[in-house]
Amino acid sequence: MYEAGQDPYCYPGTTVLKNRLGLRMQAKLHAFEAEITAQRAAEPLPAGRLSYAHYKAIHRHLFQDVYSWAGRIRTIRIAKGANAFCYPEHIDHEMRRLFTELAGQHHFHGMDANGFSERAAHFLAELNAIHPFREGNGRTQLSFLTLLAERAGHPFRLERLIPKEVLNAIIKSFGGSETPLRKVIERLVG
């Protein structure tokens, strides 16, 4: 769970996020969220140009049945452990910058697998550090990156995905080491 101060996203006196079903127990919310987002992920993702707006539309698609704020940028400061994510007052600017850079690199189209893996790892590390949503960043990142890889000509072999390994690589990238994340992506496109 994310750490936050007074969290308007949560039911008072709890760390349970306010949700469309009114679930007040974390385990029940987690189970519902996992089930419904898996169903939404199996559907076609929203069409788009791999832009900032497209990224928000993917989050909305995945989480629309769970949270009323799906697809909207968070308004509070959050952290995991000692790692603070981008302050909300800077998210919009940082997301625009990151997606402008992505478009300027032609969404990594035309790169070989190694080049794609290196650029995608850097993009994902920055995207994770921004952490634009209150919840659902990892699932949105994976959905978007899968789409990005496909359009760049390097479709992911998701059967090779090891969630714990991805999480560890993401954590290391937050500390400045993108090599483990690049290696995870190389295996997914190889």
Tens-place pLDDT, residues 104-141 = 999 999 999 999 999 999 999 999 999 999 999 999 99
- Whether 34 is in a domain gets the answer yes
Count up the domains in the chain and report the number: 1
Give the domain range for residue 61: 26-189
Residue 1 lies in a domain: no
- Is 15 contained in some domain? no
Can you give the CATH number for the domain in which 46 is found? 1.10.3290.10
| 7 inside domain | no
User: In this structure, is residue 35 part of a structural domain?
Assistant: yes
Please state, in angstroms and rounded to a whole number, the distance separating the CA atoms of residues 161 and 165: 8
Q: What is the pTM of this model?
A: 0.94
Residue 9 included in any domain: no
In a domain, 65, yes or no: yes
Render pLDDT for 7-26 as a digit per residue (tens, 0 to 9).
999 999 999 999 999 999 99
In a domain, residue 2? The reply is: no
Q: Which residue would you say has higher pLDDT here, 80 or 92?
A: 92
Q: Can you give the pLDDT at residue 190? A: 82
Supply the pLDDT for residue 5: 54
Q: For 71-81, what is each residue's pLDDT tens digit?
A: 999 999 999 98
